[in-house]
Amino acid sequence: MNNDDEALSLVFKKIERERALLNAANQMRQQTQNEQVKARLDTQMREGRRNIQYLEERMQELQMRKMGQDMENMNLSPVGTGPGRRASEGYDGRSGPSTPLAKSPRTHIDAGQGTSYGMQETGGSQGELMPSRHPFAPPGPSSSLPKRPNYTKLDLIKYDTPFLGPRIQLMLSQIEFKLNVEKQYLKGIEKMVQLYAIEGDRKSRADAAGRRIESTQKIQILKQALKRYEDLHIDMESSADAPDGMNKFTVLKLF
| pLDDT value of position 149 | 63
| pLDDT value of position 127 | 46
Separation of alpha carbons 62 and 3, rounded Å: 10
| pLDDT value of position 119 | 42
Separation of alpha carbons 117 and 199, rounded Å: 96
Asked if residues 49 and 228 have their Cβ atoms less than 8 Å apart, the reply is: no
| pLDDT value of position 155 | 65
pTM for the predicted model, two decimal places: 0.54
H or E element, residue 18: helix 3-31
- Residue 187, exposed/middle/buried by CB under 10 A (0-12, 13-18, 19+)? exposed
| pLDDT per residue rounded down to tens, the chain (255 residues) | 567 788 888 889 999 999 999 999 999 999 999 999 999 999 989 988 988 988 888 888 888 888 887 787 777 766 555 454 444 444 444 545 444 444 444 444 444 444 444 444 444 444 445 545 544 455 554 444 455 667 677 767 676 677 777 888 888 999 999 999 999 999 999 999 999 999 888 999 999 999 999 999 999 999 999 998 888 888 765 444 444 444 443 444 444
Contacting residues for 226 by C-beta, under 8 A, at least 6 apart: 172, 175, 176, 179
| pLDDT value of position 78 | 61
| pLDDT value of position 129 | 52
Compute, in degrees rounded to 10, the torsion defined by CA atoms 76, 80, 84, 85.
Answer: -110
| pLDDT value of position 122 | 45
Separation of alpha carbons 166 and 178, rounded Å: 18
| pLDDT value of position 193 | 92
| pLDDT value of position 248 | 45
- Residue 4, exposed/middle/buried by CB under 10 A (0-12, 13-18, 19+)? middle
| pLDDT value of position 191 | 93
Q: Domain boundaries in the chain?
A: 1-71, 156-237
